[in-house]
Structure 1
Amino acid sequence: MWIETRGQGPDVVLLHGWAMNSTVWNSIADALAQEYCVHLVDLPGHGASPAEGPLSLSAMVAAVDAAFPWPVQVIGWSLGGAVAAAWAISQPQKVKSLSLIASSPCFYAASRLGQRDASHGILAQFAEQLQQDWQGTLKRFISLQAMGDASARAVTKELLADLFKHGEPSLTALSEGLAILRDTDLRAQMRQIDCPVLLQYGDRDTLTPVAVAHWLASQLSDVTLDIHQGAAHAPFLSHRDAFLATQLAFLAKN
């Protein structure tokens, strides 16, 4: 895998979302690197990390786990959060703390009742459109991530600028990554996570409704919850200062 390391100190691993790459973290990585050894990872099949075989959640976890044979603190956004959570579940001795950003243990479910939410239709629609116009589909997906955000235009611009900085993804990897979002369901396993967990979510997120954050908070034994008012799916971009303040305080405690 492609990994860039910045700074010195306790190890912090950053995992990005579907179709993106590690450059999405640039706006906060340098700030974190003032106190931590920050590892920016391109997940398999994304950015500069080729997929070695079919993509699956377990394959992604195995690749990340092999790259870091020592305990780390992990920050995962969206799909990266699912990878991070699965890593914490399968290798509890490796994950010292877990930060989930706009992520869900089951992207098809909006609540503890398992009710389907808007993301169900959205993911199915994107899977179909991906085969016809993958570049246009990615741009529409980015617009959806920013939709409703108080800084939607700036967030969209930044995500689009980062999209191909580490190269264009393969259609196969995109399709398999979308299937991971479609099929992943970690709800029954979340109670197994025994490390401290930080949840940072936006109250205007259409992909990961804020109900997900509240459900997770009810399931985890050691949890800190921060809902960013006016933020959508990328609070680390739209609410950078508030996000960093919460994140740095959490990392310092753990």
Structure 2
Amino acid sequence: MNLTFLHGWGMRPGIWQGLQQTLGHNSQVPVLHAPTGSLDEWADAVARTLLPETVLIGWSLGAMLALTIAARHPRQVRALVLVAATPSFVKRGDWSHGLDGETIRAFREGFLRNPGRTLERFVALQAFGDAQRHAVTDALRAQLDDPVEHAAALGHGLRLLEESDLRVQRLPSVSLPCLLVHGAQDALIPASASIWLGQRWPGSETLLIEDAGHAPFLSAPQRVAEGIQRFLAART
């Protein structure tokens, strides 16, 4: 079975190292730097590099990218594992399961002024409420992307987070197997976002990690790995 790991905003591929080693299988962990253009164009570019019939394992922005790839290139995707997933990162008139628009805009403006400080704030939000807060913070800091070298790509990634809404005509077929993993204490993306997805995905499964924040695969690695292994074993 082939696995493709898609990391979140501001991170490097090494954030997946522990889970990748635990799960085994033939896998790839691409570097994700948002190119100029739409989320669709980015998804198309990543899809051209995928291993055949891969299971996409996406986290946060990587989960949005995985959803987009699966919607546009369903024949290339065998199943989805979505960690801290949401179809819309930002609250909207008919969507309450996200951050305030002003908050994400402040993040983007703050990144332009002081990229390093903004990344540190982002790390703090990801670890907030997690029972393993200090360990998660250390793990995230160790895999932070270079805010100077990749400033343009990171800035554009924030814009995509702010603008993207995958609820209408962007979600993949509900016949595609999907495991939704979410930390119950996630301060960035409420667990209700994954619950919303699960309610519209009859064949999906949900794994809620009660004492975890935005990065449950770091705070509860064994529980998350076991859940993914069970999900994958049922599809071999």
Say whether 1:122 aligns with 2:108.
no
Show the counterpart of 1:16: 7
Show the counterpart of 1:32: 23
User: Greater shift after overlay, 80-89 or 67-76?
Assistant: 67-76
User: Greater shift after overlay, 221-230 or 169-178?
Assistant: 169-178
Show the counterpart of 1:80: 62
Say whether 1:41 aligns with 2:30.
yes
Show the counterpart of 1:231: 212
Measure the CA separation in 2 of the matches of 1:245 and 1:160. Answer: 25
Cα deviation digits, residues 80-111 of structure 1 (max 9, x gap): 00010011111111111011100211111389
What letter corresponds to residue 39 of structure 1 in structure 2? Answer: Q
Written as runs of structure 1 = structure 2, the 5 A alignment for 1:48-87 is 51=35, 54-68=36-50, 70-87=52-69
What letter corresponds to residue 26 of structure 2 in structure 1? Answer: C
Percent of aligned positions that are identical: 31
Measure the CA separation in 2 of the matches of 1:37 and 1:107. Answer: 31
Q: Describe the SS at the equivalent of 2:48.
A: helix
Aligned residues: 234
Show the counterpart of 1:5: none
Show the counterpart of 2:159: 179
Under a length normalisation based on structure 2, what TM-score does the superposition of the two structures give? Answer: 0.93
Query: CA offset at residue 117 of structure 1?
Result: 4.2
Measure the CA separation in 1 of the matches of 2:152 and 2:225. Answer: 34
Do the aligned partners of residues 242 and 169 (structure 1) sit closer, same or farther apart at CA in structure 2, a change above 3 Å counting? farther
Query: CA offset at residue 138 of structure 1?
Result: 0.5
Q: Describe the SS at the equivalent of 1:38.
A: strand
Written as runs of structure 1 = structure 2, the 5 A alignment for 1:103-122 is 103-109=85-91, 113-115=94-96, 117-122=98-103
Cα deviation digits, residues 174-227 of structure 1 (max 9, x gap): 111001101111112326342100000011101110110111111113100011
Measure the CA separation in 1 of the matches of 2:128 and 2:196. Answer: 23
Measure the CA separation in 1 of the matches of 2:172 and 2:185. Answer: 26
- Unaligned 5+ segments in structure 2 are none
Q: Is the 8 A contact 2:3 2:26 kept in 1?
A: yes
What letter corresponds to residue 22 of structure 2 in structure 1? Answer: A
Show the counterpart of 1:170: 150
Q: Describe the SS at the equivalent of 1:105.
A: coil
What letter corresponds to residue 182 of structure 1 in structure 2? Answer: E
Cα deviation digits, residues 138-196 of structure 1 (max 9, x gap): 111011111111111110111001114x8954221111100110111111232634210
Under a length normalisation based on structure 1, what TM-score does the superposition of the two structures give? Answer: 0.86
The two structures, once aligned, show a CA RMSD in angstroms of 1.9
Q: Describe the SS at the equivalent of 1:198.
A: strand
